[in-house]
Amino acid sequence: MYLYRSPWPYLATILFVFHFTTSSFPHHHDYCVIGAGPSGLQIGYFLHQKHRDYVIFERNNVSGSFYVQYPRHRKLISINKRHTGKTNKEFNLRHDWNSLLSHDESLLFKHYSKEMFPHADVLLKYLHDYTTKLGLNVQYNTEVRDIHRSPANHSTDQNLYHMHDVNGNHYTCSKLIVATGIAEPNVPDNVPGIDYAVGYEDVSIDPDDFEGQSVLVLGRGNAAFETADAIYGATNLIHMVGRSRVRLAWATHYVGDLRAVNNGLLDTYQLKSLDGVLEAGLEEIKIVKKNNKLHLLFKEDDADPADSLDNFALRDPYDKIIRCLGFKFDKSIFKNDTKLQMGKGRTKKYPKIGYNYESVDNPDMFFAGTNTHSLDFRKSAGGFIHGFRYTARSLHHLLEWRYHQVPWPSHTAPITQLMNTIIKRLNEASGTYQMFGVLGDVIILKNNGLEFEMLEEYPINLIHKLYETSGHQGNRIIAIVMEYGRDFSGPGNDIFRIDRATGEPSEAHTSNFLHPVLYYYEQLPTEKEMNTKPSGVALPRPKLLHHIVEDFLTSWDGPLSHLLPLRRL
């Protein structure tokens, strides 16, 4: 007799086992990268090239999802200089601020836009192509949370990082790279009435919505001026309030300060056409709403807005207040008991890390991209694509040596080739040019000075740990670093003064503009020397120090001005 049995109990068991397997058993990778923005893709590219076991988690369905919303008015401020008069790819990257590094010549941004300041949608298209053409392992729609570390065990001697996504899937890795950017809007909690202000993240991009209105903008950065420039043709007036004076990028040599492409409001302010810019600490003010108008008052002022000081600069009411106070790091992806120190002072919005990009609190947790900008804030370009594409490569070299015993890439040659090698790097290298004062070329003199070995784009603040971080032994070294003059730039300095530059080789040490500086050591600097070097100084005092005089064309190949003094050294 045939007895029929329903298949449903068996299917239910299979489905239960499948669910238990996918949601409870962890998916393990050697490297987990959080975020598929430019920095996550860049470090992913290097891991991919080395065939490492990695995954990039992206909470949205596109690479570079930050640029879906930002900048709000869609014009990037990273330059897309397509022509330099040269064909050397490395040199051209000095002036291409949007391309990521790869072996694929089609993935240069000049092929995507002819605009000097491209539309943000073009960058989204570029990042999509970068991901797909290079075959990067990006797992989209995966919002990870509750990141935490379990201690190293005796069998592996490695930490293990755990995380879950919103569907309950469990992931682990032994090396975690956080590349989430600085993307959470900064909303101060010490300004009463701040909720009356509309945030940069939500502000309308239609000038008609501000027609005939009086507008106050809180903030002093590029987002604030971008917003003002987009609407000042429609408004009655725009007033702008910030903690400190306007810092112009062409005065500070810092790309994150106010760019010329956004500073139209300064014209209408200085030409007294109703718009205005002034300084006030936000911790001193409050926003009050009365008769459907918004008023700015000092916190200790309890008077009616109409009774405020009769010459108070902000005594008239506003129709709208727009908050453009920048962004900060989002710590919510970490479990509450995960210790994660933040920087102090002006770097308080960045995670605290060492010069090897590793968390000071969590071994084997590294940061990439804008997250690492605390190391060079207001000094170099590490918070932007044209800077962090190189620091991501440096991070990868550090990881390769530390975890896979692959030394930092180098090349060795007879000492007779040293001059030509140095000159070629000075006139072509893009990484040391963009990450001035942070990454440098290190030359190790070997075999009693008969040959040399060069490490390119090495983090100079790790030079006292050369072997530990690169796998290369050496004491007699030359470090080549690009630097600006220390006392030249600044928001209050006249950087257009008539004697702003020098062309005299004997006065090269007074150079104000970007120029090469060579440090020769017979013994590596000590950790104490690195920690106690004066502020603003790239490296401790060497045995010999040589400045190559600045050059208007940034071409250091003059036989008498550049080559002869270097040959004497």
List pLDDT tens digits, range 545-554: 999 999 999 9
Tokens (6 digits) for 71:
């900048």
Cβ burial, residue 345 (10 Å; 0-12/13-18/19+): exposed
How do beta strands 477-483 and 451-459 pair?
unpaired
18, part of any domain: no
Range of the domain at 563: 408-568
Identify the burial level of 525 via C-beta atoms within 10 angstroms of its C-beta, where 0-12 means exposed, 13-18 middle and 19 or more buried.
buried
Other beta carbons within 10 Å of 512: 20
50 and 169 fall within a common domain: yes
Helix axes 385-404, 38-49, angle to 10 degrees: 40
Residues 227 and 309 placed together within one structural domain of the fold:
yes
In terms of domains, do 335 and 252 share one?
A: no
- Answer whether residue 3 is part of any domain: no
Residues 40, 178 share a domain: yes
Same domain, yes or no: 382 and 430: no
Give me 210's structure tokens: 């501000």
Q: Are 99 and 170 in the same domain? A: yes
- Below-50 pLDDT ranges, the chain: 1-5, 8-23
* Secondary element (H or E) of residue 264: helix 264-270
Residues 470 and 426 in one domain: yes
SS3 339: coil
Whose tokens are 């590219």? That residue is 45
Q: Which of 260, 295, 325 is the last residue of a domain?
A: 325
* Number of domains forming the structure of the chain: 3
Is 11 inside any structural domain? no
- In a domain, residue 4? The reply is no
Asked if residue 414 and residue 383 are part of one domain, the reply reads no
Rounded to whole angstroms, the Cα distance separating 133 from 103 reads: 11
Write the CB contacts of 233 (distance below 8 Å, at least 6 apart in sequence).
207
* pLDDT value at residue 159: 80
- Residue 414 lies inside a defined structural domain of this protein: yes
Please tell me the distance from the alpha carbon of residue 433 to that of residue 93, in angstroms, as a whole number: 10
C-alpha angle 51-49-98 in degrees, rounded to nearest 5: 145
Nearest to 173 by CA among 397, 377, 365: 365
Question: Residue 99's CB: how many other CB atoms inside 10 A?
Answer: 23
- What is the structure's pLDDT at 282? 85
Examine the domain organization and report whether 340 and 274 are in the same domain. no
Please tell me whether residues 81 and 106 are part of one structural domain: yes
Q: Is residue 9 part of a domain?
A: no
Residues 316 and 363 in one domain: no
Q: pTM for this one?
A: 0.92
Write out pLDDT tens, residues 94-132.
999 999 999 999 999 999 999 999 999 999 999 999 999
| Strand 198-199 to 27-34 pairing | unpaired
Per-residue pLDDT tens for 151-166? Answer: 766 555 678 999 999 9
Instruction: Determine, yes or no, domain membership for 14.
Output: no
The residue out of 325, 343, 359 marking a domain boundary is 325
CATH of the domain at 266: 3.50.50.60
* 515 lies in some domain: yes
**Of the candidates 337, 366, 399, which is a domain's last residue?**
399
Residues 155 and 169 in one domain: yes
